[in-house]
Amino acid sequence: MVSRVIPVEPFDLIIFGATGDLARRKILPGLYRRFAAGQIPPQSRIIGAARSEMDHDGFRAFAAEAITEFVDASKRSEAEIARFTERLFYVTLDAKGDTGWPELAQMMRPDVVQAFYLSVGPVLFGAIAERLHQHGIATPESRIVVEKPFGRDLATARELNAMLASHFAERQIYRIDHYLGKETVQNLMAVRFANILFEPLWNTQYVDHVQITVAETVGVGGRAAYYDRAGAMRDMVQNHMMQLLCLIAMEPPYSFNPDAVRDEKLKVIRALEPVGPDDTVRGQYRGRPAQGGTPAEPSYAQDAGTPQSRTESYIALKVMIANWRWKGTPFYLRTGKKLRARASEIAIVFKEPPHSIFGEGEGWRENVLAIRLQPNEGMNLSVMIKEPGPGGMRLTEVPLDMSFAEALGEEGTDIPDAYERLIMDVIRGNQTLFMRGDEVEAAWAWTDPIIAEWEARSEKPKGYDPGSSGPEDALMLLHRDGRRWREIRE
């Protein structure tokens, strides 16, 4: 299969926070990969802005280092890096002061697509949006990209939305949820809406339940200061997992246009039932003393530097959707750090056939469509067949297993990173994979009472061992419904 790369129009991308971690690890390497793929026209420019004193060459050297560190050696060359970094410029600028703004204003070109990427903490969003207008830099056609977290509750999300709306129209605002840029996440829509096979079964009549798992093996690491104020609910569920749930549960949009898709996602969020205390389990990873040759592992509290922390590094939830399609089908969500494997998966677990002509206990298992988001993206449909050989009709389960990398050959392994795709979508002016303001607010409106309930009860999260599947109580969440979690494995 030949990879199709469609070049975008020439653009100026201004990265506020260009010296930060996200720019270094994701944005600059991602832009390089798109440039190397021939997607970025040579007239385009990437302008870094931050307070650090640096000239254009300093920023080019910074970017070259980031690319060397974060782009696979087989996908980069010195010559290509040099060609790419020629397109890079830098302005020393203070988001909250006057420094740098006139210089940035002078650099602007009216005849190319203009996008501002706010890769800075949300406290700076307002100051930057204001100055972009004060200095006549933003136009009615410019695009503004904002990073997560988008608020920490409904009130702060509304404030952010109102602030952005006072400077930009909704069609100019791109709220990033990088999960939406993942290849497999988009594949959820292709699988559902480009095949007739699944849609007739995609409802409460045939689906017993859905499991959405995002498991990490790492702890909070360097993000502890932010994470301890957020927890798994705010960091993962309100945004990324909510988006996955929406893509699984939504009605077919009338077209693949941004508002058609986002309208359908919004309807799902609005149909979510409130989640009671018995339907959530919060966990926090324990530490482990040194054993034999294995070094000690710090607990969450040690990682976060807050011995009394009640922040959850794990959460499991049972979520119900009150609409015709899903009434009665639970969606079980779980996500956590320091779990046994790094694995993200959505599993659609189908109901039993209405009647078994083979009798009971003949090895029957339910059909499961598992969509692996990472690692080894792919799909697996478990089906029952006859166990080969003599001895009568015994059933056995076999997987119809498809690894995208294997099925699609080289093209299947050469998948753009989520950030690459999303930045190119900004330049194309395609908002389909970005969250709309009302969507984010609806997600917070559902999340807030769950968090408020925990805070009122002030309960410590349940402990779980590093390398485990999470707290025992999370097993009970499914056991009491006569179900079990799928194994977390890579």
Residue 24 or 265 with smaller CB distance to ligand NAP: 24
Residue closer to ligand NAP (CB basis): 204 or 217: 217
For the bound state, the minimum distance from the C-beta of residue 346 to ligand NAP, rounded and expressed in Å, comes to 21
> What's the closest the beta carbon of residue 235 comes to ligand NAP, in angstroms?
9
- The CB-nearest residue to ligand NAP is 20
- The CB-of-28 to ligand NAP minimum distance in angstroms stands at 11
Closest contact distance (angstroms) between CB of 222 and ligand NAP is 9
- Give the chain as a 3 state SS string: CCCCCCCCCCEEEEEECCCCHHHHHHHHHHHHHHHHCCCCCCCCEEEEEECCCCCHHHHHHHHHHHHHHHCCHHHCCHHHHHHHHCCEEEEECCCCCCCCHHHHHHHCCCCCEEEEEECCCHHHHHHHHHHHHHCCCCCCCCEEEECCCCCCCHHHHHHHHHHHHCCCCHHHEEECCHHHHCHHHHHHHHHHHCCCCCHHHCCCCCEEEEEEEEECCCCCHHHHHHHHHHHHHHHHHHHHHHHHHHHHHCCCCCCCCHHHHHHHHHHHHHCECCCCHHHEEEEEECCECCECCECCECCHHHHHCCCCCCCCCEEEEEECECCCCCCCCCEEEEEECCECCCEEEEEEEECCCCCCCCCCCCCCCCCEEEEEEECCCEEEEEEEEECCCCCCCCEEEEEEEEEHHHHHCHHHHCCCCHHHHHHHHHHHCCCCCCECHHHHHHHHHHHHHHHHHHHHHCCCCEEECCCECCCHHHHHHHHCCCCCCCCCCC
Minimum distance of ligand NAP from residue 379's CB (angstroms): 27
Catalytic, 240? Answer yes
Could you list the residues that contact ligand NAP (CB under 6 A)?
16-23, 50-52, 93-96, 119-122, 124, 147-149
Query: Which residue is catalytic, options 56, 178, 240, 355?
Result: 240
Q: Which is nearer to ligand NAP, 99 or 396 (CB)?
A: 99
Smallest gap from Cβ 325 to ligand NAP, in A, equals: 32
Nearer to ligand NAP among residue 131 and residue 334 (C-beta): 131
Cβ closer to ligand NAP: 209 or 240?
Answer: 240
Q: Name the residue nearer to ligand NAP (CB basis): 91 or 268.
A: 91
Q: Which residues are tagged catalytic? A: 240
